[in-house]
A = this chain, B = another copy of it.
Amino acid sequence: MIEEALREISRGTAEIIDNERIEKLLKAYFEEGKGYTVKAGFDPTAPDLHLGHTVLLQKLAVFQKYGARVQFLIGSFTATIGDPTGKSATRKVLTKQEIIHNIDSYTTQAFKILDESKTDIVYNDDWLGNMTAADMIALASNLTVARMLERDDFSKRYASNTPIAVSEFMYPLLQGYDSVHLKSDIEIGGTDQKFNLLMGRQLQKAYETKKQQAVLMMPILEGLDGVQKMSKSLGNYIGVSDEPKDMFGKTLSISDELMWRYYELLSSKSLDEIDALKAGVEDGSLHPKKVKEELALEITTRFHDKAAAQAAKEEFERVHAKSQIPTDIEEFTINAESLWIAQALVDCKLEPSTSQARRDIKQGGVKINQEKVTDMNLQLNAGEYLLQVGKRKFAKLRVD
Please list the residues of chain A having a beta carbon within 8 angstroms of any beta carbon in chain B. 77, 80-82, 84-86, 128-129, 131-146, 148-149, 154, 158, 161, 163-170, 173-174
- With a CB–CB cut-off of 8 A, which chain B residues contact A133? 128, 131-133, 135-136, 170, 174
Q: How far is the CA of A145 from the CA of B143 in the complex (A)?
A: 14
- In the assembled complex, the CB of A195 is this many whole angstroms from the nearest CB of chain B, namely 13
- In the assembled complex, the CB of A155 is this many whole angstroms from the nearest CB of chain B, namely 11
State which of B82, B141, B149 has its C-beta within 8 Å of the C-beta of A86.
Answer: B141
Count the copies. Answer: 2
Name 17 interchain pairs, CB-CB below 8 A, sorted by A.
A81-B137, A82-B138, A86-B141, A132-B133, A133-B135, A133-B174, A137-B167, A137-B170, A139-B167, A140-B165, A140-B166, A141-B165, A145-B149, A145-B158, A145-B164, A145-B168, A145-B169
Q: How far is the CA of A81 from the CA of B132 in the complex (A)?
A: 11
Q: How far is the CA of A143 from the CA of B86 in the complex (A)?
A: 10
Contact A146 B167 (CB under 8 A): no
**Which secondary structure dominates chain A's binding surface?**
helix
Q: How far is the CA of A327 from the CA of B273 in the complex (A)?
A: 103
Q: How far is the CA of A107 from the CA of B80 in the complex (A)?
A: 43
- With a CB–CB cut-off of 8 A, which chain B residues contact A82? 138
Q: How far is the CA of A77 from the CA of B269 in the complex (A)?
A: 58
- In the assembled complex, the CB of A145 is this many whole angstroms from the nearest CB of chain B, namely 4
Q: Known A81-B137, A137-B81, A138-B81; judge A144-B166 contact (CB<8 A).
A: yes
Contact B149 A164 (CB under 8 A): no
Contact A140 B170 (CB under 8 A): yes
Q: How far is the CA of A330 from the CA of B255 in the complex (A)?
A: 108
Known: A142-B166, A145-B154, A145-B169. 19 other contacts (CB 8 A): A80-B134, A81-B134, A81-B137, A82-B138, A84-B141, A85-B141, A131-B133, A133-B133, A139-B167, A140-B167, A141-B167, A142-B165, A144-B166, A145-B145, A145-B149, A145-B168, A146-B161, A146-B164, A166-B173
- With a CB–CB cut-off of 8 A, which chain B residues contact A169? 140, 145, 166, 169
Contact A138 B167 (CB under 8 A): yes
